[in-house]
Chains A and B, each alone.
Chain A
Amino acid sequence: MSRLMPATPVARALLRSPLFAALALALAWELAVRGLAISPRYLPALSAVLRDAWSVWPQLFASFNRTLLETLLGFAAGAAFGCLAGITFSYARLMERAVFPLFVVSQTVPVVAFGALIVIWFGNSLLAKVVTAFFLTFFPVTVNTLHGLASCDPQRIALMRSFGARGPVMFFKLALPSALPQILVGLRLGIGLSLVGSIVGEWFGETLGLGVMLIEAMNSDQIVRIWVVIVACGLMGALLYSVLTLIERKIIWWRAES
């Protein structure tokens, strides 16, 4: 069958690819707005959005990069801290009981409320935004690292013990590799929240960034500009998630089995 229609498997693969989905979505957007005559106040046509994006391209490009930098730095800090915290809590139960509840409570505090305070403490700088991003990132990474380490197969632990394995050997050869899939789930949650943190952080006293562009557009009632920022944020989000997925595939190839 496939030899009669060689194009079909290839065509099918193309149909499934995310690129096609994105193109289809873009097309649907444009056609829907035109066809259904949706008011530009609600949903401007994709072409209008792209035109506006092009008109402020230098600022958009610079803002994108700035927000990306804040996000990556905040994520790196939050992920490192979260992993270490998770590992510490996993091996020192007392620390977990003492400090983890504080971590939980910290997430009920709306960091956005402290925007002005953060600027007072850290100045109108990159650091302030990184701190905001860090604040949102560390918790999901901690929780998932803890969970991943806790779900290590007890039978494999017993096997390692029967070989005479102890502490660090057990950790590096068994606990950590087996926790990696769950840790990566945490990293995925973390990077999305890091982006949120950067944007929110930029609302207070910054001059460059996607969050800044968002507020400016809102204040001047520029709907199309808002959509430009939404699309830019979406692209950044998609970019970050796919990079993470690629890394995941490299590190945890064995997921194919379990």
Chain B
Amino acid sequence: MSQLLAQSAAAAAAAVPPGAADAGMPAAEHPPPAPAAPALLELVNVWKRFGDAPRQMVAVTNVNLKIAPGEFVTLVGPSGCGKSTLFNMIAGLLAPDSDGSVLFGGAAQRDGQLLGKVSFMPQRDLLFPWRTVLDNAILALEVEGVPRRAARQRAEAMLPEFGLTGFGKHYPHQLSGGMRQRVALMRTFLFERDLLLLDEPFGALDALTRTRMQHWLLDLWTRHRRTVLFITHDIDEAIYLGDRVLVMTARPGTVKSEQRIDLPRPRDPAIVTAPEFVRIKRRLLDEIEEESRKSFLQEESRA
């Protein structure tokens, strides 16, 4: 556990000039190279503009970030700040504008190259209603080319870990929201890629289920040692889960600040009331408050 902490601390230190996070300055412009393990994912000056002038909309502007292997990084921001656009670019579904680039494993990725390299879980579970739980879980594996029987065996073995024992042959419409989300997560984990992108996976769940799922996700992450980039609008969730929290501004979205979370792992759900936690939360709340207000005013002016 402490190894992981040290690793992510080193990466965090490398990515952000000291003092920048506290001062609320935008994340580093061209930070010094990391002395520790090379970043798994790096975004350099990533922009995304839609449409042409004069009605051009800038969704994402000048995003620079580095994710080290094994890290759990959470991303918070007001609605409409471009989080999902950013994710789509990391998953390879959208190409960043030509003035920036996305590097994966140190190599710059051309348009479409990222497809199939990252395990992406969008907000909706998007399970296929005509497939059983097991077949939904192996969907990505099938696309990869793994033969069905082998894939099914792998999924079958994972069912207990996801609390879905005995539900392998069920159909999505027979499951509760929480269970469907778990099937989607299982699909994401079965697709063995180093980087996992989770876009508000627990957003639609009730508070109790959500807490259980968060705890269980951390368990999973610890055991499987993947790298996770996690979007949420819930600050508690962001702090509880992450090694680092990135705060995004209102549109046009950029990384406003970065907060290292030094809380010890494994983290107990009760930690949300610990003074340490609350202190971090208060700091983040102020930043997010400001951005949320801007975003709200943007929406108002548009209406």
Contacts and interface: CB of A to CB of B under 8 A. Distances in A.
Contact of A155 (B92, B122, B172): B122
B126 A155 contact: yes
| Secondary structure of the B contact surface, majority rule | loop
B18 interface: no
Interface stretch (B113-121, B151-159, B215-223, B266-274): B113-121
Among A155, A161, A177, the one with the most B-chain Cβ atoms within 10 Å of its Cβ is A161
B143 A169 contact: yes
A51 interface: no
Interface string A147-166: 00000010110111111110
Interface in A174-223: 174, 177-178, 180
Contacts, number: 62
B129 A173 contact: no
B171 A174 contact: no
Interface residues of A, number: 23
B9 interface: no
B139 A163 contact: yes
A254 interface: yes
Given A155-B122, A156-B128, A254-B129, A163 B173 contact: no
A184 to B, nearest CB: 13
A97 B143 CA distance: 32
Contacts of A163: 115-116, 139-140, 143-144, 191
Interface of A: 153, 155-156, 158-165, 169, 173-174, 177-178, 180, 252-254, 256-258
17 contacts: A158-B88, A161-B92, A162-B93, A162-B115, A162-B116, A162-B118, A162-B120, A163-B116, A163-B140, A163-B143, A164-B143, A165-B143, A173-B128, A180-B130, A253-B171, A256-B173, A257-B173
Interface of B: 88, 91-93, 115-118, 120, 122, 124, 126, 128-130, 139-140, 142-144, 171-173, 191
